[in-house]
Each structure stands twice: as structure tokens, then as C-alpha cells.
Structure 1
Amino acid sequence: MNPIDLPVVALTLGDPAGIGPELIARLLGQTDATQHANLVLVGDPWLWAAGQQVAGVQVATTPVRSFAEVRGRADVHTPAWLAMDTVAPEQVQRGLAQAPGGASVLQVLNGCMDAAQQSEVDAICFAPLNKFAMKQGGLKHEDELHHFAEYLGVQGYFCEFNTLGELWTSRVSSHIPLKDAASFLSKDRIKDAARLIYRSLQAAGFAQPKVAVAAFNPHGGDGGTCGREEIDVIEPAVRELAAEGIAVGGPFPADTIFLKARDGEYQAIVTMYHDQGQIAIKLMGFSKGVTVQGGLPVPITTPAHGTAYDIAGLGRADVNATYNALRIAARMGAARLA
């Protein structure tokens, strides 16, 4: 791809009290970080300076006054820098979830989404945020994904994907009490989750992805003696997906399904609730995983780990997941331009 045609990816510093500023400084200190996208870093100048200090790097940037100046820049291998004043240093106590930090995150992300709606940004990659801080700072939803969906006017199905290398997972229900998970199971939700991750994998460069669908009950329900969700809901959904031409299998017991993916049989797993997939994928690669916000009109990615308040400011943050999140954002942003 001609450098001038690289997708524009907005990068944010995440929660001011967490490891996000350090992660972005480490990311942009890597020589190849700008090879895949025309990057625009967005955030508070003091916070960016603090992140570089913690990381022990000094990153050259090109100041811009608006997102509109980013596309078509001649020197795309130097990140653009868009300053946005959202929070004062005295309002942030490193390692604590606080309302000013949460409000800052919302303001920056909303600005990036505004730019995406104006076709000035092709993808967004955000450093880790904290849901409690954001709720204190004005978030009205259960999580950032639902905020993104409402802000961007999404009417169809959306869900989080968690990815680790060649393996992606989606889920039928997410940030809800476990006691409510069974009530969220339906053929339509299962089919929507499978279709969405199948299409998203294709957009990320997987030509022929294969999707595995997890069972809900222990041992896949043991023929109905340990629950009938597999017989009444999940198996019919899998049959209908196969009839549509999607390469899909299951339902497979949740305690063995990740072995099939690990061995390369499947590139995607549809899980029935949050921890069914999250425990496995974080155990397989906590420092490398990525969360993709699926079903939105603009690709949005982030490292799958959190703000790591306990090590904020210590210079110990691992940048691998952030780098992977940027690569996925760049690939999906490029697919939108194709």
C-alpha cells in the first residue's frame, strides 16, 4: 500500500490514572508502529508527556489542529498529534479510578467517533479504560461498547470480540449477572453472534474462517439430562447457520472447545456468556489479547487487559497487546478503504 493511502487510525491514551499513557509511548517508540497506519494520537499534552517519561522514550510527532489534517499527510511515518484538553494533572491520582479520569476518556473517545462519522478516521485504537471511573464520569451504559453503539447509531446486533493471534471469540451475552445468562440465549442471538464474527474475521484478512459454537451446560447438556438449551436452541441455530453457507460446528462442551481452536480446527468461537470465553483466552495469552468492538460502523480495538492501576507509573507495562490491537485496527481500517 502506498504510504499516503494508509488507513487513518486514532490512538488514545486511555484512563489517565492507569498504564495507558505509558503503553502508547512504548508503542510509538517502536520503529514499525507507524508502518501499518497513518496514526493520530489524541489526548492531553501533560498526560502524553507523563507517559513518555514513565516509558523512558521521547517520540517525535507532527502537531495537527484537527482530524481533517491527518489524511493525505506527506510524512505518515511520524504520528500526528492532536492535543485535547480534558483533565488537569491535579484531578488525577495515579492508580485510582476517579470521575475526572472517566470523563476524560469519554470526551476523547467521543471526539474520535465524531471524526469517524465524518470519514476523517478509519479506525480507533484506545488504551485501557476503567468502567467504574467512566460511570463516575458520566457513562450511562453498562460498558463502553453500548456507549459506542448508541453514539454511532447502531441498530443491529453488536458484541465484543476477544482475540488472541489467529483465534477470535464472541459471546451471546456479556456484562450481565450470570444468573441472567440463560434468559439471553436465543437462536437469533446465537446466529447474529456467529454471522458477525464470521464477517469480521473476513474483514480482518481471514479468507475462509471456521466458527465453533459452545454449549451452555456442563458436558453439552448430556443429551438433555443436564439442561435442554443445546437441544432446543443451540443445535437448531448451528444447523441454520450451516444452511446459510457459514463454516460452523457445534455445540461443543465449553471445557474442550478451546482445545479444538488451539489445534487450528477453528478460528472463531461463539461462547454463551462472558467468562465462558474470557477465562480461557486470558489464560492462553493475557499479555497479548485484544478486544474488538464488533458490529460498529468503524473498527474499534483495545488491549484485552485493564488499566493495571497497581503498576501504573512503575515502567513495567507490557506493550504486546496494545501493538496487536493497533495491527488489527489498521487491517480492519484498510479493509474499509478497499
Structure 2
Amino acid sequence: MADRPLIALALGDPSGIGNELAVKALTDEETFKAADWIVIGDRRLWDAGERIAERSLHLPDLDPNAFDHAAFLDLAHADLDAITLGESSEAGGSVAVRNFRTALQLAAAGGADAVTFTPFNKHAMRLADPSYVDEIGFVQRSIGTDAPGSEFNVLEEVWNARVTSHVPLSEVAALITPERLERAIRLTDSTMRGAGIDNPRIGVAALNPHAGDGGNFGTEDDAVIAPAVEAARLKQFRVTGPIPSDTVYVRALKGEFDAVLTMYHDQGQIAMKLIGFDRGVTLIGGFPFWIATPAHGTAYDIAGSGTANPGAAIEALRLATRLSRRSNPEGFPDPGHRLANAAAIAADAAAAPAAQERPEA
């Protein structure tokens, strides 16, 4: 048995800061030593990231029979002439899509304990894959599961979970149902327990200003959220709410809650990024393996400048490592043995025609 988890790192959008961040994160000595690594992408883009970051890290090509701590899986698939720093494109999206899919399939085949990736650009991803909406649906399709995954934003101070995520604000109220609330509470509780947080305390944010103010500003808080919270309490979940969203994070930061469950994307994202933009991690739970990425975006405005802050990328890699250790307290299979099977997945991904990146919407 090995004493380190094996983590797949998929390079993100090549037009942003992802390649630079990958190099900076893996050249952080503490991060690099904590796990074994497989970097997935196009070697030429990794080399570009090294030049931008002004750092270097020798990563041999992946060989399951001679794997030693870290390797590079070169898909050699980028159309460099069609990729421009600071601009979203189908070519860039295609690179990111294939990198991510390969990492997911590698982990699903047992070739990695967790998947990490540097930031994607959703517009570019959709140009390459019209069916791409968000990471949850993409993961489900890529590994053939209907498991109800969910995104969490993680800081040392507090976690954020969501009832809805990448949907228009105009559709949120109709999606706040007892069933969705129960599912979100259960998944938040189970994911946090899997991360080593026993009996997590969850503050549930209200949907409307002042939690509806007795019906003056909407009825969802009294009619839907409050009964769902009470039902969850009766099932022994440690939940409180609905709490007005302009105070719920104040209470969490004072130590009252371990997580805040918000009703929609920006209700939590704005708070979390104000608290710790350069440390925030997006964690995807509910699947057979952990998935983690920096909570920020591709930062096209500084792409190529070498000034990208790797703090959140380092935290994402470290979180994936810690969670993998907690999920496997007795150790990990020998990397060479497990990669022998996963290598076939990687070979198929590298040889796949570009048309496979463009399923019907």
C-alpha cells in the first residue's frame, strides 16, 4: 500500500491563468510532497505555464510501469494557432473539456483518488460542448452516473452550500421546494462528515429580504423553507433557519455555523469571495471521488502576466489531498498497479476524435 493519495490535475482554460496556476501550485514544496500527481493536458501548454510562472518542474511522460511520484499525461490535442491569451474560444474550450473528461474517467477507473483542475471558462466550454451547463452535469455524463452531486465553496472559516446553482435568478423561487431543501441539507451534512467535520451545524439562508418579513416580501420563507428546516431538525440534522441572508454569514463567522446553505449562486458566492477570494476552493461532492478547483475564474485580464496568485489553487490541491486521506485511512493502492488499468482510459481519451467533444445539446 502507498502512503500518499494519487491526484489528477487537469489543466483548465489555456487562454486564462490555469497553466500558470498549475505550475505554481505544484512547485509549492509542501503541496507537491503530500500526494502523487498526474497532470493532464497538452505538454506545450504546461511548458508555456512554466515560462509565464518563471518556474520549472520536471514531469516525465506517464508510464504506469515506471511511475515515481508525478507524471504528465500528454494528450497533445491543442490547436495552438487558435488559442489566444485573454480570449475565450472553441479551441480553448475543447482543450479544457477533454482534459477534465480524461481526469474524471481516470478517477472513475481507479486511476486517481481525486480530481483537481485549474479554472474553466464556461463560455468556451459551451462552444466546444453545447451540452455543457456546469461541472455537475458534465461529471454525471462523463462517468455515467446519476448521483446527485453538489458544489460547495470551502474556506477554513465556513463552508457554503446551495439549493440552486447555475440557473437564472428569475427561476430560483420556483425551484425552492421541500424536496430540494431536504436533499441539499442531507448532502451538505454527509459531505462535511466525509471531510471530517462531525455533526456539522448548518445555517439556512432565507430567500427573501428579512426572511420575508411575515409575508410582506414573499411567502417562500414561511411556507417552504421554515417547514423544511423543522423537518430536518426532527431527523436530527443540526440546522437553523431561515436566517436573513444579510446576517447569516455574520453569525457563521462568529462561530455559530460550520456551513451556510444558500438558496442561489450569488447569495453565497459574493460573501465567500469577500471573506477569502485568494483562498476559496470549490469542492464537488456526492460522487465516488472528490473534485476540487479554485473558486475564482480564468482571469483573462492578467493572463500571461505571471502575476496570478496561486493561493486558491494550492488550497484546492491540498484540500483534495486531505479529503482523500480521510476517505482512505488505511492507505492507497500501489500507483503502478492502479495506473495499468487507467492507462487504457487515458489512451482512449487521447485518441478520441474531436467530434466526441461536441455532443448534441
Give the TM-score normalised by the residue count of structure 1: 0.93
Structure 1 residue runs of 5 or longer lacking an equivalent are none
Q: Match for residue 43 of structure 1?
A: 41
Matched, 1:284 2:282: no
Q: What is the 5 A alignment of 1:132-171? A: 132-171=123-162
Equivalent residues of 1:172, 1:193 under 8 A apart:
yes
Q: Partner letter of residue 58 of structure 2?
A: A
Q: Is the 8 A contact 1:22 1:51 kept in 2?
A: yes
Q: Which protein, 1 or 2, shows the higher relative CO under an 8 Å CA cutoff with sep ≥ 6?
A: 2
Partner of 2:354: none
Structure 2 residue 191 is the aligned partner of structure 1 residue 193: no
Q: Secondary structure at the match of 1:41?
A: strand
Paired residue for 1:331?
322
Going from structure 1 to structure 2, the CA distance change for 1:35 and 1:105 (only over 3 Å counts) comes to same
Partners of 1:184 and 1:28 in 2: CA distance: 40
CA distance in structure 2 between the aligned counterparts of 1:218 and 1:149, rounded to whole angstroms:
35
Q: What does residue 207 of structure 2 align with? A: 216
DSSP-derived class of the 1:291 partner: strand
Say whether residues 1:16 and 2:7 are aligned partners.
no
SS of the aligned residue for 2:136 comes to: helix
Give the C-alpha shift of residue 103 in structure 1. Answer: 0.8
Which of the residues 51, 54, 57 maps onto 1:56?
A: 54
Per-residue CA deviations over 1:216-256 (Å, capped at 9, x if unaligned) read 11001112222211111111111121122211111100000
**Residue of structure 2 in register with 1:181 after alignment:** 172
Contact 1:167 1:268 in 2 (8 A): yes
Q: How does 1:67-82 map to 2 (within 5 A)?
A: 73=67, 75-76=68-69, 79-82=70-73
Q: Report SS of the residue matched to 1:180.
A: helix
Correspondence for 1:244: 235
Superposed counterparts of 1:75-90, under 5 Å = 75-76=68-69, 79-90=70-81
- CA drift of 1:177 comes to 1.1
Q: Look up the SS of the partner of 1:63 in the other structure.
A: coil
Q: Distance in 2 between matches of 1:258 and 1:199?
A: 21
TM-score for the superposition, normalised by structure 2: 0.87
Matched-pair contact (CA < 8 Å) for 1:204–1:328 = no
Secondary structure, in 3 states, of the residue corresponding to 1:80? strand
Partner of 2:102: 111
Q: 1:153 to 1:236 in 2, by over 3 A?
A: farther
- The structural deviation recorded for 1:91 is 2.1
Counterparts in 2 of 1:219-234, with a 5 A limit?
A: 219-234=210-225
Q: Deviations over 1:185-223 (max 9, x none)?
A: 011111111111111112122123211101111001112
- Kept in 1, the 8 Å contact 2:116–2:293? The answer is yes
Is the 8 Å Cα contact of residues 205 and 331 (structure 1) preserved in structure 2?
no
Deviation string 1:274-312 (CA, Å, 9 cap, x unpaired) is 111111111111111111123222211110110001100
Partner deviation per Cα, 1:148-173 (whole Å, 9 max, x = no partner): 12222332433211112231111111
How many matched pairs?
Answer: 329
- AA aligned opposite 1:204: A
Equivalences for 1:306-325 in 2 at 5 Å? 306-325=297-316
Residues 17 and 298, structure 2, Cα contact 8 Å, conserved in 1: yes
Corresponding position of 2:347 = none
